[in-house]
């Protein structure tokens, strides 16, 4: 590879081969270390502080615009909003009336069965930042990071259901993989009959699939899917989606089940990061579940 040492009018590029080999080895080393050993977390967090201003610079005009729009809303809009929210609060209060009693009853029943999983969850709220990550992956950047105690594998919800899982934590931000990402999978349970299975993402934010149900499984259109809490990554009993289509092809041994996610995957702005209190006997939460296709 002597040809790499070029002499020409613009001066020669000395040692191009040497330098490219050096940088290549460095990059390969980084990949291996980052993948195999979780040693790079601190380095990555330090480096991410360098790109954080850039992310902030990109997201701030959008935030400024939405602040401006909020501050010039008319009195009528505010009153309409207020009326709507009061209505919703009243509805929610009605439903909450029995909550305390049910919670106590639930705790009593759980005590009878010696099971305490999923009781008492702590959470914080984070905002999605207006920063585009990889166009081909279902991921969002959220303004909560290691500073706030967010960890890799943590469950993320929105107001309607399960949203995703934290895959990358930086100092002030984190990446959340949506449950609709093509590599995401989440342990679920059909609320009607307790049938457990796994929901996988399709890469389309409006659709999940249940690929592992046998053709004679008891699933119906309209069934609600909730998290089963198995695997330890997600808290138990949160809505994941509704079954919108069951396709039973007699030739296949598995049914083709389509699910519409409960969470507003491409509309939500505010997300909930959940901490599940778990008994000491359970292992720590698994890293993000990834299916190989």
Q: Report the interface residues with other proteins, using CB under 8 A.
A: 3-4, 6, 8-11, 13, 16, 19-20, 23-24, 26-31, 34-35, 40, 43-44, 47-48, 50-51, 54-55, 57-58, 62, 130-137, 139, 141, 167-168, 170, 175, 182-183, 203, 290, 292-293
Cα–Cα distance measured from residue 248 to residue 245, given in angstroms and rounded to the nearest whole number? 10
Nearer to other proteins, 86 or 132 (CB): 132
Residue nearer to other proteins on the CB measure, 3 or 92 = 3
**Minimum gap (Å) between residue 190 Cβ and other proteins:** 27
For residues 286 and 155, the answer to whether their CB atoms sit within 8 Å is no
CB–CB of 225/240 below 8 Å?
yes
CA-to-CA distance for 46 and 248, rounded, in angstroms? 51
Dihedrals φ, ψ of 32, to 5°?
-65, -45
What is the phi-psi region of residue 166: left when phi exceeds 0, alpha when psi lies from -120 to 50, beta otherwise? beta
Instruction: Name the minimum Å distance from CB 146 to other proteins.
Output: 14
* Residue 157 vs 265, nearer CB to other proteins: 265
Q: 184 near 288, Cβ under 8 Å?
A: yes
- Rounded to a whole number of angstroms, the CA Rg of the chain reads 24
Least Cβ distance, residue 185 to other proteins (angstroms): 13
Q: Select 28 or 85, whichever has its Cβ closest to other proteins.
A: 28
To other proteins, the closest distance from the beta carbon of 7 in angstroms equals: 10
Q: Residue 254 carries which DSSP code?
A: B
- 18 vs 104 by CB, closer to other proteins: 18
Tell the smallest beta-carbon distance from residue 148 to other proteins (Å).
17
């Amino acid at each position: 590879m002597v040809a790499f040492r070029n002499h020409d009018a613009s001066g020669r590029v000395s040692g191009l081969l040497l330098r490219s080999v050096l940088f290549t080895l460095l990059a390969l080393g980084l990949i291996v270390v980052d993948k195999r050993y979780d040693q790079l977390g601190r380095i990555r967090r330090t480096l991410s502080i360098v790109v954080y201003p850039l992310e902030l610079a990109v997201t701030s005009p959008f935030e400024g615009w939405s602040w401006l729009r909020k501050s010039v809303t008319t009195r009528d809009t505010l009153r309409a909003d207020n009326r709507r929210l009061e209505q919703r609060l009243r509805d929610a209060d009605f439903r909450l009336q029995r909550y305390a009693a049910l919670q106590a009853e639930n705790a009593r029943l759980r005590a009878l069965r010696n099971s305490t999983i999923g009781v008492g969850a702590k959470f914080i709220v984070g905002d999605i930042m207006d920063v585009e990550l990889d166009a081909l992956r279902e991921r969002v950047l959220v303004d909560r990071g290691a500073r706030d105690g967010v960890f890799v594998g943590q469950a993320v919800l929105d107001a309607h259901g399960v949203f995703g899982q934290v895959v990358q934590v930086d100092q002030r931000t984190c990446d959340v993989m949506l449950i609709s990402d093509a590599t995401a999978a989440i342990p679920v349970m059909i609320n009607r009959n307790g049938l457990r299975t796994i929901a996988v993402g399709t890469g389309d934010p409006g659709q999940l699939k249940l690929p592992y149900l046998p053709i004679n499984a008891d699933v119906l259109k309209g069934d609600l899917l909730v998290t089963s809490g198995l695997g330890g990554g997600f808290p138990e009993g949160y809505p994941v989606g509704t079954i919108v289509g069951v396709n039973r092809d007699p030739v296949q041994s598995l049914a083709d089940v389509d699910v519409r996610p409960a969470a507003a995957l491409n509309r939500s702005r505010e997300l909930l990061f959940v901490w599940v209190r778990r008994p000491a006997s359970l292992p720590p939460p698994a890293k993000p579940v990834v299916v190989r296709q």
